[in-house]
Structure 1
Amino acid sequence: MTYGPARALPGEQIQITTNPDTEPFWEAAKNHRLTACQCAACGHFRMPPSPYCPECQSAEKRWPTLPGTGTVFSYAICNKNPKTGEDYVYVPIVVDLDEAPGTRLNANVTGCDAEDVTIGMKVTVDWTPIQDGWVLPNFRKA
């Protein structure tokens, strides 16, 4: 089956909520900066962010800037907009982030046809404006 170009979901349909553990991620994204929560005590990355490190239980965090590159760990091809039900090809992916061992991020991929997405494909961050002035990191084929 031929699906055609993979697209990000329309930003005006996406709304997020934040909390003290996730807000630094979203604030960085507003500035087109990809980051992930890292334990300031032992260096363990954790996404989604949590109040305490699962490795050493420290509450200390840092938010290093990442290069915005990664590898597709998993994906699915979808052909209906989940909000409206209209025909709309998008490819949700799980990305292993470079320079953040063990850190994965859910996103959409663009920059290629949906049927060309593969596990192991290299991707680079792309930014999608969404509701309330927030920005969502998505990825495109590198």
Structure 2
Amino acid sequence: MSYGTPVPDGDPLMEPFWQNAREHRLSVQCCRDCGDRHFPPSPVCPSCLSEEQDWEVVSGKATLISWVTFHRAYWDVLQSQLPYDVCLVALEEGPLLMSNFLGPRPENAREGLPLRVAFDAVSDHLTLPKFVAA
């Protein structure tokens, strides 16, 4: 199976995230020195600048911060998916994550809506964490 829309570019810092997603686990980077959980990953902790970074599997529970509905395709391959939603969620463990809803936007979408992660295996090698109403 192939996926017809833009895909992650193979950033080595993100590989643990994508590996966990393929196994239906949501993860964020965590500093071994100060415990800061952050996403996207970085070579140093954004809080204390330590290079001691690990990945931590998180609960997948989140809160909807906001969303936007795109009516314009910025890539030609997205034309058939218009309109589509992109959401910003706050994970229970702290970091913010930009994603999509799995399926249509929840009818009761509003700031503060409880969400949970759901995994969408879009190809043999790519599983995307998306969100549904909890």
Class of the TM-score when normalised by the shorter of the 2 chains: 0.7 to 0.9
- Corresponding residue for 2:113? 121
- Corresponding residue for 2:131? 139
CA deviations over 1:26-62 (Å, ceiling 9, x no partner): 1111101000001011001121100001221111112
Flag as ranges the 4+ runs of structure 1 deviating above 4 A: 79-82, 111-115
Q: 1:23 is matched by which residue type in structure 2?
A: E
User: 2:32 pairs with 15, 26, 40, which one?
Assistant: 40
Q: 2:38 is matched by which residue type in structure 1?
A: R
User: 1:31 pairs with 17, 23, 28, which one?
Assistant: 23
Q: 1:43 is matched by which residue type in structure 2?
A: G
Question: 1:87 offset after TM fit, Å?
Answer: 5.8
DSSP-derived class of the 1:63 partner: strand
Two-structure CA RMSD over aligned residues (Å): 2.3
Q: Percent identity?
A: 30
Q: How many residues align?
A: 131
Question: 1:85 offset after TM fit, Å?
Answer: 2.1
Q: Distance in 2 between matches of 1:112 and 1:138?
A: 11
8 Å CA contact retained: 1:76, 1:93: yes
Q: Please, what TM-score do these two structures have when normalized by structure 2?
A: 0.84
User: 1:78 pairs with 70, 75, 93, which one?
Assistant: 70
- Corresponding residue for 2:90? 96
DSSP-derived class of the 1:110 partner: coil
CA deviations over 1:71-105 (Å, ceiling 9, x no partner): 0111112345553423634221011001x22x011
Q: 1:18 is matched by which residue type in structure 2?
A: G
- Greater relative contact order: 1 or 2 (C-alpha under 8 angstroms, separation 6 or more)? 1
Q: Which moved more, 1:127-136 or 1:111-120?
A: 111-120
Q: Please, what TM-score do these two structures have when normalized by structure 1?
A: 0.80
Question: 1:70 offset after TM fit, Å?
Answer: 0.1
User: 1:55 pairs with 47, 72, 90, which one?
Assistant: 47
Question: 1:69 offset after TM fit, Å?
Answer: 1.1
Q: Distance in 1 between matches of 2:72 and 2:37?
A: 34
